[in-house]
């Protein structure tokens, strides 16, 4: 109990944890609120009002179809979060068990898993995503799966590496001597000891997933209209670059803020969860 309290106390004093946490929290709140309410319905096309400058009615102006930019950003956050959560979830859900299995079994099992991870890793993420969309057609689900698959070897590698270092410590040998099997030791001793590494990595991969989704949508391979997405907003803004440059700036800033927030949060968590710091009272 004391340990948990002290983690919280240290977390709230950590500047990048607080800043990153606030930015991420803001984004999550936006996305949740947007499920029920947005300033304008995002499907509303208002041609007479197209490319309007910021005003009291449209705080950030409108795009080439007269849609409210603020509302598009507001609702677009859903998309980014969805991609991030599911892609990281796939990575964690598949990669971590594989990494733990490799570490617990060693020998040829480890070789096979890690070489398969290397193989997957050798393809640049975006290229393999483009390949998948070429096969299954563009769309949100395909892009999420593609980004998720790219996350699997990342988590497999990091969990295997961290787990190997836990397995080499005496308390796992002591647990074996107490009659525990590899699965029980993995759950009771290995996983809790590598959790902080995984949490930090998850925030980084979350940011990468948001960027990847934006890139895919920008290329027209990710989220399809009319579902708003920050990446697609960039794509649409491209053709009016010289008439309305701000159209590209808003989604760009949104993406940058999300990624910055997640990275700051990850940095903060890295410090806060470091067990060596937790020892110091």
Q: In the bound complex, what is the minimum distance in angstroms from residue 179's beta carbon to another protein?
A: 3
Nearer to another protein, 193 or 205 (CB): 193
Contacts 24+ apart (CB under 8 A), 115-122: 116/153, 117/152, 117/153, 117/156, 117/157, 118/153, 120/149, 120/150, 120/152, 120/153, 121/153, 121/154, 121/157
Q: Smallest gap, in angstroms, from Cβ of residue 205 to another protein?
A: 24
Q: Where do the H-state alpha helices sit in 106-229?
A: 107-122, 125-136, 140-167, 170-177, 182-185, 191-218
Binding residues for another protein (CB under 8 A): 1, 3, 106-107, 169-171, 173-181, 184, 188-189, 192-193, 275, 279
CB nearer another protein, residue 50 or residue 180? 180
SS3 category, 111: helix
Least CB distance to another protein at residue 167 (A) = 12
Shortest gap between Cβ of 92 and another protein (angstroms)? 20
Residue 31 Cα to chain centre, angstroms: 15
Least CB distance to another protein at residue 6 (A): 12
Q: 173: cis peptide before it, omega within 30°?
A: no
Nearer to another protein, 33 or 109 (CB): 109
C-beta closer to another protein: residue 104 or 146: 104
Q: Which is nearer to another protein, 170 or 242 (CB)?
A: 170
């Amino acid at each position: 109990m004391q340990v948990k309290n002290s983690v919280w106390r240290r977390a709230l004093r950590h500047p990048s944890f607080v800043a990153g946490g606030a930015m991420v929290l803001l984004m999550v709140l936006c996305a949740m609120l947007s499920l029920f309410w947005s300033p304008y319905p995002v499907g509303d096309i208002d041609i007479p009002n197209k490319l309007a400058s910021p005003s009291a009615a449209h705080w950030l102006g409108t795009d080439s179809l007269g849609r409210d930019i603020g509302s598009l950003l507001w609702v677009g956050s859903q998309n980014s979060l969805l991609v991030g959560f599911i892609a990281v979830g796939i990575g964690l859900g598949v990669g971590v068990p594989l990494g733990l299995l490799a570490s617990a079994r060693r020998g040829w099992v480890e070789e096979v898993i890690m070489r398969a991870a290397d193989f997957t890793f050798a393809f640049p993420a975006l290229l393999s995503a483009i390949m998948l969309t070429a096969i299954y057609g563009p769309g949100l689900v395909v892009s999420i799966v593609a980004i998720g698959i790219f996350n699997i070897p990342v988590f497999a590698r990091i969990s295997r590496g961290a787990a190997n270092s836990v397995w080499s410590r005496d308390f796992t040998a002591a647990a074996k001597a107490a009659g525990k099997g590899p699965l029980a030791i993995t759950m009771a001793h290995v996983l809790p000891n590598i959790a902080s590494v995984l949490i930090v990595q998850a925030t980084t991969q979350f940011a990468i997933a948001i960027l990847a989704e934006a890139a895919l949508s920008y290329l027209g391979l990710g989220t399809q209209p009319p579902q708003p997405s920050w990446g697609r907003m960039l794509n649409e803004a491209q053709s009016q670059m010289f008439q309305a440059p701000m159209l590209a700036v808003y989604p760009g800033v949104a993406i940058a803020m999300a990624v910055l927030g997640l990275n700051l949060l990850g940095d903060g968590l890295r410090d806060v969860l470091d067990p060596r710091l937790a020892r110091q009272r």
